[in-house]
Structure 1
Amino acid sequence: MAKDALFFAEDIFGNQFCLKDDCIHTFDPETGLFDKLAESINEWSGIILEDYEVLTGYSLAHDWQNIYGPIQSGYRLVPKIPFVLGGEYELENLYLARTGESMRARADLALQIRNIPDGASIKMDIKD
């Protein structure tokens, strides 16, 4: 799903930014989909600065740290109910997880739902 992309940054939720097809894209690990965000790194940095609250998850990360303390390097805020399945961008729906573990779980979800049409019902089976 993520072939031919050079990843260089990610937000607090583990959504990633990458170079792909000579442009800057976002990559959603829950769906495995890319969205073009900018034509250049300069344009990307301007977009990030203009909308950092949404594009980085700053507000939720700040609120989390006020309650639970610093978020260590290598950790991300991960949704209990995945965003792609209707999970809310709220503290109550988030937990702290190692980045690698989170990416593996979300990649597994992306592989399971990639051929399911939008709006279809699915059953989520959570395993240890």
Structure 2
Amino acid sequence: MPLFLEKLLSVCSGDISSCKEHELPSGFHNYPLINDLMTLLNNRNGFYGFESALHVFPFETVGEELGVIDWNDHRLWIDCYDDLARNALFFAEDVFGGQFCIKQDGIYTFDPETGSFDYLAEDIDEWCKTILEDYEVLTGFPLANAWQKKYGPIPVGYRLVPKVLFVAGGEYEPDNLYLEKSTVAMKARANIALQIRDVPEGSDIQLRVN
């Protein structure tokens, strides 16, 4: 097992799914790092880390736990972003629903409020190393910890979403967060991302929230 993958798994939960036999849909083979992802999921088929701030999807859906296959069904939420969220394979998320994904040249983050991708690591092992080195920022652990101390555990299938969007100046504070179903949260923020996609940085904008 790659070094940093082993280190990350040592501080995370056990498998979400006990299944170890995976058959990839044809479209998944288009990603050069798909074997890296399969190594991850074959060693730990979905898991939580840092008090549920990090959520790695299992390969297949298990009850309320959506799997990678279903999470990447474009009809679920990806198409809501028009073309902004395409050409990526989403496999994990932070406490706010910010996504980690595979693209053709590495591992990226995807901001659900802006629909923007940012390069993070060249492969899964480097992603694990980066998470371990900067987990407070990359997973939102401090806020996950503070919110759960006040309100209780985050249920399966939910993330903490800002009442006032971060992109609109919302504060990174527990009182600005509420529980929302992951799919609902992604669809709602897709609406925002499409409104601001062509707005120059620093410009004023009046957001319409459905």
Q: For 1:1-128, list aligned pairs within 5 A.
A: 1-127=84-210
The 3-state SS of whatever aligns with 1:106 is helix
Question: TM-score, with normalisation over the residues of structure 1?
Answer: 0.95
In structure 1, C-alpha distance between the alignment counterparts of 2:94 and 2:115, rounded to whole Å: 16
Which position in structure 1 is the counterpart of 2:28? none
Structure 2 unmatched runs, 5+: 1-83
Describe the SS at the equivalent of 1:27: strand
Identity %: 62
**More RCO (CA 8 Å, sep 6+):** 1
Once the two structures are superposed, residues 24-82 of structure 1 have per-residue CA deviations (whole angstroms, 9 ceiling, x without a partner) of: 00000111110000011111100000111110011111111111111001111101111
Q: Distance in 2 between matches of 1:75 and 1:115?
A: 30
Write the distance in 1 (CA, Å) between the matches of 2:96 and 2:132: 18
Structure holding more strand per residue: 1
Larger Cα-atom Rg: 2
Give the superposition deviation at 1:123: 1.6
Gaps of 5+ in 1: none
After the TM superposition, which parts of structure 1 deviate over 2 Å for at least 4 consecutive aligned residues?
124-127
- SS of residue in 2 equivalent to 1:47: helix
Partner of 2:4: none
> Within 1, Cα distance between the matches of 2:122 and 2:206?
38
Deviation at 1:88, TM superposition (A): 1.3
- Alpha-carbon distance in structure 1 between the residues aligned to 2:206 and 2:147: 29
Q: Please, what TM-score do these two structures have when normalized by structure 2?
A: 0.59
